[in-house]
Structure 1
Amino acid sequence: MYKNKKILATICARGGSQGVKGKNIRILGDKPLIIHSLNLVRESSLIDEYIISTDSQEIMEVVKKHGFDIHFKRPDFLASGKISRIDVIQHATKWVEENLDQKFDVIIDLGVATPLKNLEDMENSIKILIDEDASNVFSVNVASKSPYFNMVEFLDGKIQYVKKIEKKINDRRDSPQVYEMNDGFNVFKHEILFSDNPQFNENTKISIMPPHRSVDIDEEWDLLLAEFIISTKIKEEING
């Protein structure tokens, strides 16, 4: 709980993965990927309850082995790769409220694919939502490329910048600041999660994470990069 707001954490992990086979239970450092996120829930004094949504028996067994509870198996109609994460979070939240007889003010979803996030990153995203009375918050990192300067697309038969701007930009640092969405966190007020527009609205905020904690595991290369980061001195910065 934070400032009298009751907080639910959801962790959504499908069994299927296209880029990295068995991604959610692949070993990173000394533990399966999903456990990196679940350990943050265990460590935080702000989280009142958590719920894991998975369609995979193997993931369920790994989670139980590490001391976490599994309350249900995700239904097949929510197990497709085409299903929105929002739909899965809504289903998990409803399950808790209906079966554990609890109500929550805030729901935070932890993305398993961004395993290097830390407790400070997680709790900061919650505090931004509550302290700034935001409708929702999602995590980002400063983009390494700029759509105004060094990102192009094929449009109307020719190559051009993804975004046009009136002034001439000779250096990326002179272009407007842009951010990459990562899979770290999505935080919602309860009523916003179940609204028609839970992701982007007039009072959406962002929580900025450093790049070395923002690696998303989408390909095998990302797993190697994350392994390198936690095995070097940068590990101290991640944990600190």
Structure 2
Amino acid sequence: MYADYKILAVVPARGGSKGVPLKNIQPIQGIPLVARVGHLISELPEIDRAVVSTDHDEIARIAEASGLAADWRRPPALSGDRIGDLDVLTHALNETEQRDGQRYDIVLMLQPTSPMRTAAHVRDTYRKLIDEGRDAVWTVSETDSKYHPRKQLTLTDDQLGYYSQDGGQIIARQQLDALYHRNGAAYAFTRDCLVEQRNIMGANTAGLITEDMVSIDTPFDFRLVEFLLADKH
């Protein structure tokens, strides 16, 4: 609990990943991704409850061994690769509240595929949400100017063009406004944002700017994260 707000952490970890089979239990530095989240949450006593949302028994077993509750399974209707975060989070919130017989004020989403997060990233996210009275807070990183939409190109029928109408006028990066992308380290939402507004970007959403980090999706990403974490230490 923080400032009288009860906090539920949800770790979404379905079994059907396609790029890397059972991605959520593949190891980084010898520890399965989902277990790394469980270990990190143990460093955050202000989190009242931490659950894994999974459709896979082995993921549930590993998650439970790391301190995450795995009392229920995500239904098949919410386990496809086209299911949005909102439905997964509201299902997890409803299941947990029914089983615990209590209401949670804040819901965190901590995806196993962001193993470079720290406890401070998570703490700063939910404290910003509560201290500033926000509906949601996402961790974000500034986007490198070479990936700015106004510098992108299109290729249609082998004809190259600018994505932005004024793309040809961009000479220096100083002409570009700063843009940001979600980095997956942490998301925090009020219960109202998820249940009443039915949106993960509520009417009053803030970004917590952090250093950029790798979100794992491919075998190369695993190797890159291993290298970056080893280099840090």
Q: Deviations over 1:148-185 (max 9, x none)?
A: 553233479752134758x9542224411111112222
Q: What is the CA–CA distance in structure 1 between the aligned matches of 2:116 and 2:32, rounded to whole Å?
A: 12
Q: What is the CA–CA distance in structure 2 between the aligned matches of 1:25 and 1:43, rounded to whole Å?
A: 21
Secondary structure at 1:231's aligned position in 2? helix
| Structure 1 residue 98: Cα displacement | 1.0
Are 1:71 and 2:71 counterparts? yes
Gaps of 5+ in 2: none
* AA at the equivalent of 2:192: E
Are 1:116 and 2:119 counterparts? no
Q: What is the CA–CA distance in structure 2 between the aligned matches of 1:136 and 1:107, rounded to whole Å?
A: 9
2:141 corresponds to: 141
| Structure 1 residue 200: Cα displacement | 2.9
- Contact kept, 8 Å, 2:153 with 2:160, in 1: the verdict is no
- Contact kept, 8 Å, 1:188 with 1:198, in 2: the verdict is no
Name the stretch that deviates more: 149-158 or 59-68.
Answer: 149-158
- Contact kept, 8 Å, 2:135 with 2:190, in 1: the verdict is yes
Name the stretch that deviates more: 85-94 or 149-158.
Answer: 149-158
For 1:1-240, list aligned pairs within 5 A. Answer: 1-144=1-144, 145-154=146-155, 159-162=161-164, 164=166, 168-211=169-212, 214-232=213-231, 234-235=232-233
* AA at the equivalent of 1:41: I
- Contact kept, 8 Å, 1:28 with 1:227, in 2: the verdict is yes
Q: What is the CA–CA distance in structure 2 between the aligned matches of 1:195 and 1:159, rounded to whole Å?
A: 43
* AA at the equivalent of 2:83: I
Secondary structure at 2:151's aligned position in 1? coil
- Contact kept, 8 Å, 2:14 with 2:79, in 1: the verdict is yes
Q: What is the CA–CA distance in structure 2 between the aligned matches of 1:207 and 1:106, rounded to whole Å?
A: 17
Gaps of 5+ in 1: 236-240
Secondary structure at 2:206's aligned position in 1? strand
The alignment of Structure 1 onto Structure 2 pairs a total of residues equal to 231
| Structure 1 residue 73: Cα displacement | 1.4
Secondary structure at 2:42's aligned position in 1? helix
Q: What is the CA–CA distance in structure 2 between the aligned matches of 1:154 and 1:30, rounded to whole Å?
A: 42
Secondary structure at 1:125's aligned position in 2? helix
Identity over aligned pairs, percent: 29
Q: What is the CA–CA distance in structure 2 between the aligned matches of 1:47 and 1:66, rounded to whole Å?
A: 15
- Contact kept, 8 Å, 2:7 with 2:106, in 1: the verdict is yes
**RMSD, matched Cα:** 2.2
Q: TM (normalized to structure 2)?
A: 0.90
